[in-house]
């Protein structure tokens, strides 16, 4: 599967979405009274976290499906989703301290939300490393699938941590109504832009990984014929 018309359309939508999201976050959304313009990081920090967890959920489902179906396409999907998930979670871990330093007066604190998020990021970095150090394709796929399923246990902990425990991290403002109504359009616009970016990147990364696995399989067959 090369770059299809759908990918071209998605690429245009991503470009438009990012431009609109930047406009909404920096120009349309009102200036927060307490934190000022620093609060605008919120419009990128939160959507990155939401989409990052979504990507890791895709990895989880694809890992389960690989163990059930033994189809290498599911392994390719799991790997592609994990890479993108790590990218979005990196954005979360970078933007979080930038936001926190002026507010909490520290770059980092070992609160439940921050600690579980860092652990989740480390688990999926380990997932990516495992794939590089297991040479046999079938064993690599099976090992990665099991590891991905186990690693995802931390994802619900990340999501519910600020609901289960006292935490310096802000409470879920969307659910509690703490987010002003005039700020919500910017948040959901940025979330939509990040979601489109995730779908586009997943499709392109899946194409590359599927092609790589096809080349790897072809090389193995050539070696067996020699």
The residues, any chain, with a CB within 8 Å of residue 158's CB and separated by 6 or more, are 53, 113, 116, 117, 120
pLDDT in tens, 179-217: 778 889 999 999 999 999 999 999 999 999 988 888 877
HSE of 184 in the Cβ direction (CA atoms, 13 Å)? 9
Query: How large a percentage of the chain has pLDDT more than 70?
Result: 92
SS3 at position 36 = strand
Cβ proximity of 145 and 63 under 8 Å: yes
pLDDT in tens, 140-180: 999 999 999 999 999 999 988 877 767 666 666 665 556 77
pLDDT in tens, 16-58: 999 999 999 998 988 888 888 888 898 999 999 999 999 999 9
pLDDT in tens, 66-94: 999 999 999 999 999 999 999 999 999 99
Q: Which residue from 123, 110, 99 is spatially nearest to 48, judged by alpha carbons?
A: 99
The residues, any chain, with a CB within 8 Å of residue 140's CB and separated by 6 or more, are 130, 131, 134
- What pLDDT is stored for residue 154 in this prediction? 95
Average pLDDT over residues 119-137: 93
- Compute CA 115 distance to the chain's CA centroid, rounded to the nearest angstrom: 17
- What pLDDT is stored for residue 176 in this prediction? 56
How is residue 131 written in tokens?
Answer: 């794939």
Using a cut of 0.85, tell me whether the model's pTM lies above it: yes
- What pLDDT is stored for residue 34 in this prediction? 80
Secondary structure element (H or E) that encloses residue 19, with its range: helix 5-23
Average pLDDT over residues 55-66: 98
Check whether 2 has a pLDDT greater than 60. Answer: no
């Amino acid at each position: 599967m090369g770059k299809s018309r759908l990918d071209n359309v998605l690429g245009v939508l991503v470009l438009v979405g990012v431009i609109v999201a930047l406009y909404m976050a920096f120009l349309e959304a009102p200036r927060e009274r307490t934190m000022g313009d620093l609060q605008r990081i919120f419009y990128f920090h939160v959507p990155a976290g939401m989409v990052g967890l979504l990507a890791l959920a895709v990895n989880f489902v694809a890992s389960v499906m690989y163990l059930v179906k033994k189809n290498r396409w599911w392994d390719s999907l799991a790997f592609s989703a994990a890479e993108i998930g790590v990218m979005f979670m990196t954005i979360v871990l970078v933007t979080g301290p930038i936001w926190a330093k002026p507010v909490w007066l520290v770059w980092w604190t070992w609160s439940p939300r921050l600690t579980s998020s860092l652990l989740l990021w480390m688990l999926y970095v380990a997932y990516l490393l495992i794939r590089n150090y297991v040479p046999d394709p079938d064993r690599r796929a099976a090992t990665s699938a099991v590891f991905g399923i186990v690693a995802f246990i931390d994802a619900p902990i990340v999501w519910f941590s600020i609901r289960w425990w006292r935490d310096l991290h802000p409470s879920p403002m969307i659910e509690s109504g703490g987010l002003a109504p005039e700020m919500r359009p910017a948040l959901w616009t940025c979330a939509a832009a990040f979601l489109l970016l995730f779908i586009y990147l997943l499709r392109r990364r899946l194409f590359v990984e599927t092609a790589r696995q096809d080349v790897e399989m072809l090389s193995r067959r050539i070696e067996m014929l020699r």
